[in-house]
Chain A
Amino acid sequence: MLSIKNIHANVEGKEILKGINLEIKAGEVHAIMGPNGSGKSTLASVLAGREEYEVTEGEVNFLNKDLLELSPEDRAREGLFLAFQYPVEIPGVSTTNFIKAAVNEKRKYQGLEPLDSVAFLKIMKEKMKLVEIDQSLLSRFINEGFSGGEKKRNEIFQMAMLEPKLAILDETDSGLDIDALRIVANGINKLHNPDRAVLVITHYQRLLDYIQPDFVHVLFNGRIVKSGTKELALELEEKGYDFITDEIDLTAQ
Chain B
Amino acid sequence: MIDLTYFKAQFETLQQDNPDGEIASIRKESFDVFNKTGLPTYKTEDWKYTSVSSLFELVYHQGKHTVGIADLEALRMPGHHKANELVFVNGRFDAALSNVLSPADEMTVLSLKDAINGTYSDLLRKHLNQSSTYIKDGVHALNGAFIDEGVFVHVHKGKIPQHPIYVYHIMDGRTQPILAQPRNLIYVDENSKLQLTETYATLGTSDSFCNEVLEMVVEQGAFVEYYKIQNDVAHANQVGTTHITQVGRSYVHTVTVTLGGGIVRNNLNLILDAEGDETHLYGLYLLKGKTHADNHTLIDNKQPNCFSNQLYKGISDDSSTGVFNGRIMVQPDAQKTNSFQSNKNILLSDNATINTKPQLEIFADDVKCSHGCTVGQLDEEALFYLRARGIPRDKAEVLLLQAYAADIIAQIKPMAIRAYVEKLIYDHLSIV
Q: Which residues of A contact B (CB under 8 A)?
A: 48-51, 71-73, 75-77, 82, 84, 87-88, 90-93, 98-99, 101-102, 105-106, 109, 141-142, 158, 162
Taking the complex as formed, is B3 at the interface, i.e. its CB lies under 8 A from any CB of chain A? no
Closest to B405 in A: A92
- Closest B residue by C-beta to A99: B389
A sample of 23 inter-chain contacts (CB < 8 A) reads A49-B388, A50-B384, A72-B388, A73-B387, A73-B388, A73-B390, A73-B391, A73-B396, A76-B388, A87-B385, A88-B385, A90-B382, A90-B385, A91-B403, A92-B404, A92-B405, A93-B399, A98-B389, A98-B391, A101-B391, A102-B386, A142-B385, A162-B389
Interface string of B47-87 (1 = CB under 8 A from A): 00000000000000000000000000000000000000000
In the complex, what residue of chain B is closest to A142 when comparing beta carbons? B385
Tell me which residues across on chain B come within 8 A of A162, comparing CB atoms.
389-390
Question: Is residue B381 within 8 Å, beta carbon to beta carbon, of the partner chain?
Answer: yes
Q: A72-B387, A91-B403, A142-B385 are in contact. List 13 more A-B contacts (CB 8 A).
A: A51-B384, A71-B392, A72-B388, A75-B388, A76-B389, A88-B385, A93-B403, A99-B389, A101-B395, A102-B390, A105-B390, A106-B390, A162-B389
Docked Cα-Cα span, A87 to B389, in Å, equals: 12
> Which residues on the B side are within 8 Å of A102 (C-beta)?
386, 389-391
B389 engages A71 (CB within 8 Å): no
> Given that A88-B382, A92-B407 are known contacts, is A76 also in contact with B399, CB under 8 Å in the complex?
no
Instruction: Decide: A105 and B392 in contact? CB cutoff 8 A.
Output: yes
Those of B359-393 within 8 Å (CB) of chain A: 379, 381-382, 384-393
Q: Which A residues lie within 8 Å of B388 (CB)?
A: 48-49, 72-73, 75-76, 82, 84
Per the bound structure, the CA–CA distance linking A75 and B391 in Å amounts to 11
Q: Which single residue of chain B is at the shortest CB-CB distance from A159? A: B389
Question: Which of the residues A72, A90, A99, A158 comes within 8 Å of B403, measured between beta carbons?
Answer: A90
A84 to B404, CA, bound (A): 23
Closest 4 CB pairs of A and B: A92-B403, A76-B390, A102-B389, A72-B387
Give Cα distance in the complex from A161 to B327, angstroms.
Answer: 50
Do the beta carbons of A71 and B403 come within 8 Å of each other?
Answer: no
**In the complex, which residues of chain B have a beta carbon less than 8 angstroms from the beta carbon of A158?**
389
Instruction: For the complex formed, measure the closest distance between the CB of A110 and the CB atoms of chain B, giving whole angstroms.
Output: 11
Tell me whether B402 is interfacial, beta carbon within 8 Å: yes
Check: B4 CB closer than 8 A to any chain A CB: no
A252 to B311, CA, bound (A): 63
Taking CB atoms, residues of chain B closer than 8 Å to A76 are 387-390
Please measure, in the bound complex, the distance between the C-alpha atom of A39 and the C-alpha atom of B189, giving whole angstroms: 69
B384 in contact with A72 (CB, 8 Å): yes
The secondary structure that dominates the B interface is: helix
Counting CB contacts under 8 A, is B406 at the interface?
Answer: yes
The yes or no answer to B400 lying at the interface (CB within 8 A) is yes
Roughly how many angstroms separate A106 CA and B390 CA in the complex, as a whole number? Answer: 6
Q: Which residues of B are found within 8 Å of A90, using beta-carbon distances?
A: 379, 382, 385-386, 400, 403
Q: Are A73 and B402 in contact (CB under 8 A)?
A: no
Residues from chain A with a CB closer than 8 A to the CB of B395 are 101, 105
- Shortest C-beta distance, B336 to chain A (Å), equals 33
- Measured between alpha carbons, how far is A106 from B389 in the docked complex, in Å? 9
Q: Report the bound CA distance from A141 to B396 in whole Å.
A: 15
* Chain B residues, Cβ within 8 Å of A93: 399-400, 402-403
Give Cα A106–Cα B395 distance, bound, in whole angstroms.
13
Residues of A within 8 A of B405 (CB): 92
Complex CA distance for A71 and B391, rounded to whole angstroms = 11
Q: How far is the CB of A25 from chain B (nearest CB, A)?
A: 23
Report whether B399 and A98 are in contact in the complex, using a CB–CB cutoff of 8 Å: yes
CB distance from A60 to the nearest CB of B (A): 16
Q: How far is the CB of A238 from chain B (nearest CB, A)?
A: 35
In the complex formed, the residue of B with least CB distance to A75 is B388
Determine how close the nearest CB of chain B comes to the CB of A59; give it in whole angstroms: 21
B139 to chain A, nearest CB (A): 36
Chain A nearest CB from B56 CB (Å) reads: 41
Q: Which chain B positions have C-beta within 8 A of A75?
A: 388
A201 to B406, CA, bound (A): 36
| Chain B min CB distance to A42 (Å) | 15
- Residue of A whose beta carbon sits closest to that of B407: A92
B246 to chain A, nearest CB (A): 32
Contact indicator B385/A73 (Cβ below 8 Å)? no
A76 to B386 CA separation, bound complex (whole angstroms): 10
A71 touches B399 (CB 8 A): no
Within the complex, the shortest CB–CB distance from A92 to chain B, in Å, comes to 3
CA A190 to CA B379, docked complex, whole Å: 34
Chain A residues with Cβ below 8 Å from B396 are 73
Q: Name the contact of B385 in the complex, choosing from A51, A84, A99, A101 (C-beta under 8 A).
A: A84
Question: Could you tell me the distance between the alpha carbons of A109 and B395 in the complex, rounded to whole angstroms?
Answer: 15
Q: How far is A49 from B407 in the complex, measured between Cα atoms in Å?
A: 31
A residues near B399, Cβ cutoff 8 Å: 93, 98, 101
In the bound assembly, the distance between CA atoms of A50 and B379 in angstroms comes to 14
Residue in B closest to A161 when the chains form the complex, CB atoms: B389
Residue among A51, A71, A88 having the largest count of chain B Cβ atoms under 10 Å: A88
Complex: A151 Cα to B94 Cα, angstroms: 57
Checking A48, A50, A91, A105 against B391 with a beta-carbon cut-off of 8 angstroms, the contacting residue is A105
CA distance A90 to B382 in the complex (A): 7
A77 to B405, CA, bound (A): 28
A142 CA to B400 CA in the complex, in Å? 11
